[in-house]
Amino acid sequence: MPQVTRRLFLIVALALTSSSIWAADPDIYATKKGAIRGTDVVAYFDLAPGDRAIRGRDEFAYEWQGAVWKFTSGENRERFIAEPEKYAPQYGGYCAFAVSHNFTKTVKPDVWEIVDGKLYLNFNRTAYRKWKKDVTSSIERGDANWPTVLQSCEQHNNCRKAS
């Protein structure tokens, strides 16, 4: 096989195999603004139920699990660094209702709830109300589906695009 043909074959083979590797949703829901749209996930634990999420700032950013997390203060960043699993939202920050039904969906950071010390986010208020109807079962289903749900989007051809 001539050198040029061999190189072309390798390039095409690499492109075909890498597209399936990158097709699944990322582990953490993030946009150009950062993880969870740049929301300070530590701040949720100081908010009253129903309060609006608080946007973090670039100067208090920290990279964890392949995403940039932003915080409102150095103190919140340090709290997160010390215990990221305590503060990071469940299901990588994807919609809890969607994950409980074995698919992924983006979230609106203002639609949230802390249950048993864990942060759950939802796509919108309708998804939140459906998830909340039987929160125990919703969480059990979500826990069972996570993290394999990240790959299931490939089967349904609905992986979310990076934004």
87/5: higher pLDDT: 87
pTM: 0.81
Classify burial at 104, counting beta carbons within 10 Å of its beta carbon; exposed 0-12, middle 13-18, buried 19 or more: buried
Identify the pLDDT of residue 147. 82
* Assigned domain for 18 exists: no
CB atoms within 10 A of CB 152: 16
Range of the domain at 142: 24-156
Domain count, the chain: 1
* Assigned domain for 163 exists: no
* Assigned domain for 130 exists: yes
* Assigned domain for 162 exists: no
* Assigned domain for 9 exists: no
Encode pLDDT of 47-77 as tens digits.
999 999 999 999 999 999 999 999 999 999 9
CA-based R_g, the chain, Å: 18
